[in-house]
Amino acid sequence: MKILVAVKRVIDYNAKVRVKTDNTDVDLTNTKMAINPFCEIAVEEAVRLKESGTASETIAVSVGPKSCQEQIRTALALGMDRGIQIETEDSPESLSVAKLLAKVVAEEQPDLIIMGKQAIDSDNNQTGQMLAALSGIPQATFASEMKIEDGKAVVTREVDGGLQTVAIDLPAVVTTDLRLNEPRYASLPNIMKAKRKPLAVKTPDELGVEMKQHTKLLKVAPPAERQAGVMVNSIDELLEKLQSEAKVI
């Protein structure tokens, strides 16, 4: 079994996000970057399947500028076998990413594609579903548990009403939720070994994909600062402020 895992370069979830002074975008100057946490869970799941003998090869693929090779190398240090970078400008749209990944899927013919359910920057929750549709294969999203049995992926999904278990034929796309596993840390020996693992670089032109932007970023603004609280002397005064100032009752 061959497993393909998509990883995205995002701001480290522990870092403080800053907005540019002209409100055109997020300021990435001297900002720590990392693998998207949901993608990290996808990497861990692929590595566990390889360690259990279920998978024979694992591939990490990322779409973005040369800097995203850092996150591919991190995935290789965590146990992935080889990497693929599709070199594009910053922040391609979800549909463009799905089209590029679909071309890689067609070339590599993986039995299973594992992705994070969403990225913590754009928060779109679209790429996995689009990839499954473009590739014409089944999908199971928001996976909190997964097993491979008799050529099928048995996936427990987290849905609004609780848990739902589905069995889908392989090849398929599975997107990970937080409770699927707990990612490991890369050891120093594995970080050194990752430098020697193969990493191929492709371009959208080589894959036959035309990059288009269907949306435009108009403005990025930080959240409003929290206002100081007000002390009240009685319940009547509290009710009056909630009614006349806060307008919540």
What domains, with CATH codes, occur in the chain?
2-222 (3.40.50.620)
pLDDT band, very low/low/confident/very high, at 172 (cuts 50, 70, 90): very high
Stated pTM of the model: 0.87
* Distances from the Cα of 37 to the Cα of 146, 154, 181, 227, angstroms: 18, 23, 11, 31
Q: What pLDDT score was predicted for residue 91?
A: 79
Return d(Cα 128, Cα 6) in angstroms, integer.
9
pLDDT band, very low/low/confident/very high, at 134 (cuts 50, 70, 90): very high
Rounded to an integer, the average pLDDT of 20-28 is 90
Cβ atoms < 10 Å from Cβ of 18: 14
Tokens of 18: 């800053």
pLDDT band, very low/low/confident/very high, at 65 (cuts 50, 70, 90): very high
Q: Tens digits of per-residue pLDDT, 194-209? A: 999 999 999 999 999 9
pLDDT over 90 (residue 227) = no
* Best CA proximity match to 85, nearest among 211, 202, 195, 209: 202
- Residue in the structure block whose two tokens are 């992926």: 153
| Cis preceding linkage at 171, omega within 30 | yes
Structure-model confidence comparison of residues 214 and 99, the more confident one: 99
Backbone angles phi, psi at 5, to 5 degrees: -125, 130
Q: What pLDDT score was predicted for residue 70?
A: 95
Q: What pLDDT score was predicted for residue 241?
A: 87
pLDDT over 90 (residue 213) = no
* Best CA proximity match to 117, nearest among 223, 219, 38: 38
